[in-house]
Structure 1
Amino acid sequence: MIGVLVRRGADFAAAEDAVQDALLEAVRVWPEDPPRDAKGWLITVAWRKFLDATRAQTSRRRREEADALHEAVAPSPPSSFDDTLQLYFLCAHPSLTPATAVALTLRAVGGLTTRQIAEAYLVPEATMAQRISRAKRTVSGVRFDQPGDVGTVLRVLYLVFNEGYSGDVDLAAEAIRLTRLLFALAPEPEVAGLLALMLLHHARRPARVVGGRLVPLAAQDRSLWETRMIAEGVEILQAALARDRLGEFQAQAAIAALHADARTAEETDWGQIVEWYDELVGITGSPVARLNRAVAVGEVGGGRAGLLALRGVDASLPRYAAVVGYLREKEGDLVGALEAYGEAVRVAGNLLEREHLLREVARVGGRVRG
């Protein structure tokens, strides 16, 4: 509904106010006189509410008002897909910061309440309300006279997915739901790649944290992985790759699929994973991709090869010290590994990761003393 009003010319805040007024009117009227076409009724009433508010604030010419009212009384069939897709582009507008883009997407496209979003991000409701209000003001004058950037939308959805979950909203599951919707609206290879990537990662979630402890991929109980979700992700990915328009999310999904395909950690095809990381680095130049590639190179050629692959990678990356520790231990340099793991503990980004790294320090320290 918000998307329809925005497409017709309402700014975002005014459209949302009009939709809320229409929903209140539905609560009052529908118990006695339910409409045959609920969505059409709501859109018509919301548009009339918007026009009423506009007339009260401005002195538009009578003819313009009459034309707009005629469109509301006899609207053309709404293009729900187009409207929702435009709403995605609006929420991922480049003038918004990533945090506000995520919040606005969850509010406008996901339909979550401000309270739910605030709980998911562990911030006060008033703080989140201010963030969303600022986002609405920023995009209030945006018009869709040029095609939107689906890549920006995908990055916003990826940010939502990576937030994981907390409170009563599972943001990872919500990101998958929204990406499924986007895939129905815009079945492009990269949209498919992101959906496949989410499914393949989400399938491993039951084994990732066990008993409050973070379990690294190599140590996970693979019988806990959701095999049907993996199969769906692989099927979606294969169809996307067959279209021969490779992008970064397809390359990431291909790496995740190779991990998912291995029955044990020892059976992982690290050679193919290195090749896919080469593709990913070529597409994005991402320092994170280069960091992960170094781990894969270390699995193929040993710790020394992995450390050589780290040359030129930004040492300030969050997982850099942990990777150095892993590769040094693989090379046999236990003292160097212990030092690197200690640094990784110092810069750990969350409690679960820090506790895991502390256990690694204790384990390697025991080997050094032994």
Structure 2
Amino acid sequence: MRNVLFLVLSVVWIGNVLADPLPSWNEGETKTRLLEFVNRVTEPGSPDFVPTPARVAVFDNDGTLWAEQPVYFQFLYALDRLKEIAAADPSVLNSDVLKAAAQGDLETVAKAGEEGLLEVVMVSHSGISVEDFQADVAKWMATAVHPTKDLPLKHMTYQPMLELLRYLRDEGFTTYIVSGGGIHFMRAFAEEAYGIPPEQIIGSAGKTRYEIVDGEPTILKDPGIAFIDDKAGKPVGIDSKIGRKPILVGGNSDGDFEMLEWATSGDGARLGLIVHHTDATREWAYDRDSHIGRLDRGLDEGPAMNWLFVDMAKDWSRVWSGSGN
């Protein structure tokens, strides 16, 4: 009898686990709104039903799908690659910003602002084919470790957001990344990390050109910026690359404001989601005054647009994909 009871309880427990598509989300209003929204737009006969082709969901990457403090992970890669380039050709360090970056002096680079960051990225992300660049990023990602958390970067994706991505795809959504990060950088790892293929990634792009190199047709990365996929650039990128207005949008900062504002406007069921970094113990707590991922306007204006604010400390039972915290 005891064995039978144990078997019954085990079946019930397993059934409950399998029935919950978001096990790392704590029970509460946030999780309920997510589940109710997906149910409303996928249930045939619902007044809010959305046909499968129009079930488009887009997400920012840095600070939304993985961590972004103390600097964007792409910049950590840029620093490592700049050091390698400078070791082979010291003449590339032709400015104070580049010299500081090669020495790991992030304070000096930060003082140079966006122009300084772009200078480092343009040098470290050019003079190489797209294919070789993405292979180099993938190799770097395999071993890169966070400078303060001592965790592999590949384990610093957010487990609750991975569950949300899988849940949406299981319900007929097509999921995209729309990020200010470099498109070639993200394409090197996003399919393995998030299950999102290269053609469903929209990001900032440097200048590229086609050339025959040693008899091989090649796309080369050149210095210069072709498109910045941030702020007002995000809805423009979505329109030009996807051609549909998303019905679900996830972000975490004011860099995502225009994307959420545009996508949650108009008729039909729509949901804007903001990952609010409130967990100073497991991750970081930051918003209005942060130098990375600043969330100010979104806090002020988002509630009136009925955006869903995800309180990381309260709503997530686990943060990282690579550990049980």
Please state which band the TM-score falls in when normalised by the shorter chain: under 0.3
Larger radius of gyration: 1
Which protein is richer in strand relative to its size?
Answer: 2
Q: What TM-score do the two structures reach when normalised by structure 2?
A: 0.23
Q: TM-score, normalised by structure 1?
A: 0.21
**Which of the two has greater helix per residue?**
1
Identify which of structures 1 and 2 has the higher relative contact order when contacts are C-alpha pairs closer than 8 Å and 6+ apart.
Answer: 2
